[in-house]
Amino acid sequence: MSGTSCVRRGELVSAGPTFPLNPKQPKRGRIIQKLWRPLQHFASRDAKGLVSLHAAVPIVNLASRASALPLDESTAEDARIVGVQLPVETWWEIIDCLQQDWSALLVCTIVCQAWHVRAQAHLPKGNGHAVGLLSRQDVILLSQCSRARALHTRAVHVYGDRHTGSLAHLGTFAAMLSGKLHRLEELQILDCTWKTAALKETILLRRLSEFTSIRTLRLQNVTLPSATTLANLLRALPDLRSLKCASVSTTKKQYGDAAILDALLRPLMDLQRLDLDCPDGDDIIHLFASTTLAQYARTAVIAVYTRPDRKGTQTTNDERLIHRLTSISQLSITFHDTGRSPESIRSFLTQALQHCAARLETLVVKVTRHADPEMELPTLCCIPSAVTGHTRSSTVSVTLGPRTQSEEKHSIEEVVRVRFTDSHTTALVRFSIPSWVSRAPGFREDPWIEQLKDCATEGHAES
């Protein structure tokens, strides 16, 4: 298409498909609202009132007279548009602007063959393509699409209602799409409140169990009725291999009997990866610490927070969870407590290495900035000391962390990465001084490096 070919305002272009855009037609009226913004985005006109086809400005025929549509939103709402004719390449550019709006793309696929091919290219079809479901209407659209053609969607993200956080449409999804998404491997539930009455939990879980291809489950910013609800959800997905819980909490804190919980979750799940970061979810951690859920996990990412004390307990649920990681090879621990003591970190790492060192291949430790700058050095020094205390020999290197790290008060940085070799008797320890330390006024690199290496040596001497 030439970039110089022009027509005067009011003329109709005969090339390309015709898409009647009548606001009074409800089905087409919804899609035109999505198309007008891209149309305006491509607008271009010169001083003589000529419109360039290459710029993809809509040439329209109004009911009253043939004239160009002014480029503002009020016209799109008020004018009664009878038809729009544009070159097919122009429509393709407009469809390209809808890449993130899969519901609009589904409508585009049924307009004509030219639109179908272009829209199909942006619809979920493999790894890296996820369908987002924000409402019951989105679920219905996806169900209609599944009846028209086989869906190869590999990931579905279910979001809570924007206003209420309700997750009622998850039940609709399970009922309408069970048995239709044969390649679905990942399910994410995000930003919502799980209400048992609205979801009819028994029916929901029975339907979810029919999605036998799901291997990854991610819960983020989700409020559950109790930890038992999570146990029931996991039981409905016995072929799960990876689980991530981020900011998952419960409205009712329940610490169920370990034997009952364990029986509830049998047969054993073969979870290969476990990622837990729940600041207000001590009962969620208790679920994994009290059952065999984490028994086969080879990779674990654990976030450690200050948990409320529970009567009659000598160890925290985070520590008990570490004892459950009997197959672990890759372990990452993040300490989020800004007021942490060196003794608490050393104790936690010591227990972790006592139970996992024989199987560990890689250990990563991350921390947040300490609330008291004077405690930063002794807190960091206890980490290499705890690590080297569980190996016969180790090679320790100390470097400065990236200077470009975030300036946020609660930023997180990796401080230690350990690789175990020679049947776990030798360790390669790389310590990174956090950026908030190296950027502090008066920081001197050599004394810090010397102190950290001395602490590592002390760890060997104590062992």
Does residue 333 have a pLDDT over 60? yes
**267: preceding bond cis by omega (within 30 degrees):** yes
pLDDT of residue 76: 39
Calpha distance 141→56 (Å, rounded): 29
Structure confidence at residue 31 as a pLDDT band (50, 70, 90): low
Tens of pLDDT, residues 410-434: 688 999 999 988 666 688 889 999 9
For 288-327, what is each residue's pLDDT tens digit? Answer: 998 888 888 999 999 999 866 555 456 789 999 999 999 9
pLDDT of res. 403: 62
pLDDT value for 53? 30
The residue ranges of every structural domain in the chain are 88-123, 346-462
d(CA 23, CA 60): 14
> What percent of the chain is modeled with pLDDT above 70?
70
Query: Which residue has better confidence, 406 or 402?
Result: 402
The whole model's pTM is what? 0.74
Give the per-residue SS3 of 59-106. CEEECCCCCCCCCCHHHHHHCCEEEEECCHHHHHHHHHCCCCCHHHHH
Average pLDDT in the chain? 75
| Amino acid identity for residue 118 in this structure | R
What's the count of helices (H) and strands (E) in the chain, helices before strands? 17, 17
Q: Which two tokens stand for residue 434?
A: 């956090």
Provide the pLDDT for residue 157. 92
What whole-number distance in Å separates Cα of residue 51 and Cα of residue 342?
71
Determine contact, residues 331/363, Cβ cutoff 8 Å: yes
What per-residue confidence (pLDDT) applies to 51? 32
Which of 45-59, 191-205, 354-368 bottoms out in mean pLDDT, i.e. has the lowest? 45-59
- For every residue of 309-373, DSSP letters joined together read P-TT-SS-HHHHHHHH-TT-SEEEEEE--TT--HHHHHHHHHHHHHHHTTT-SEEEEEEE--SSG
Percent of the chain with pLDDT over 90: 26
- Residues 63-118 pLDDT 10s: 222 233 333 444 334 334 334 567 888 888 888 888 766 667 777 777 788 888 88
